Structure 1
């Protein structure tokens, strides 16, 4: 939806404008982005994504090198932080439908001793599948919940933005390997 997209664009643009020329770690970047989204962006998504990124940052803090297990713990922490502030669950047509399966996929890959090279494509696939699953759902939260049955047939904005973020994160990590 327009409000969601505008707020996400605003938050990421503010981050880019402030920090494009700076050198920072992955977790420092997540923390700064989280602060911007939490404190400077309106709507519900600023605080939601701000919380996710800040929890991820905290979970990976002080890691010199982020292993796949560390990354899994970061995603799990982001998801746990989200679940502390929302009542949504998988199947409610929210970003939880994207983040939860992606985080679980990385956890399983880390538990099985996989590498980033094999795990990240699986995470992207899980995120895409989670996003796409929202198309046939009826929204239970947010503005789209007011549409009831009319919310069926379109992807959830939060699930879509979460998919974009997770896929971009995976692609960025893969470029550094």
Structure 2
């Protein structure tokens, strides 16, 4: 059976997961941020779905990135927008496992360039970086596309959970110092949803 990745389904699926979990994202952000992550992400991903057109995967995800930058407030818009723009720029017209892995890594590099985050800073990086590594490791071991994305979901969610004991070193949460310890990072939480939506978009 041929595995095909549907870029538009990724965007729609991500918007659906964000809509489902928006209140949770806001509650997490209320503890260590501005209490607006859920609402901002819901607004941005809904706008991205509205902007979808019948185009190739690279153009679809480029449009998504630009829409997210325009419609999500705070730091999340530029970060998620840059992820999608870099992902799209690295993508060909055929989205196989190797192409996805390369593009995902490019998207992660864009997030790092934009946000200067590192492992352990308590940010979306802590979910996205383990996912990228899991994809690469799975493919290197001979796994297929589905297995690689399954591994990515597990790694992203473990990374999300791993932010709970961390002290934030980036963003508004960093202002809290030690009081940020014990709270799950909202950005890592929405990033884990992005990886889960990617798995759901593989048919």
Q: State TM-score, norm by structure 2.
A: 0.79
- Could you tell me whether the CA contact under 8 Å between 1:69 and 1:111 is conserved in 2? no
Residue aligning to 1:12: 45
Deviations 1:79-124 (A, max 9, x none): 1111112221011100110000100111112223320122111110
Q: State TM-score, norm by structure 1.
A: 0.90
For structure 2, which runs of at least 5 residues remain unmatched after alignment?
1-28, 30-34
Distance 1:3 1:15 in 2: 18
Residue aligning to 2:23: none
Aligned counterpart in structure 1 of residue 72 of structure 2, from 18, 41, 47: 41
Structure 1 residue 59 and structure 2 residue 118: aligned?
no
Aligned residues: 170
Classify the secondary structure of the residue corresponding to 2:192: helix
Distance 2:161 2:108 in 1: 19
Residue aligning to 2:32: none
Deviation at 1:154, TM superposition (A): 1.3
Distance 1:74 1:15 in 2: 19
Distance 2:162 2:107 in 1: 21
Q: Report which structure shows greater RCO (CA 8 Å, sep ≥6).
A: 2
Residue aligning to 1:140: 169
Residue aligning to 2:192: 163
Deviations 1:101-153 (A, max 9, x none): 10011111222332012211111000000000001101111111111111111
Residue aligning to 1:101: 130
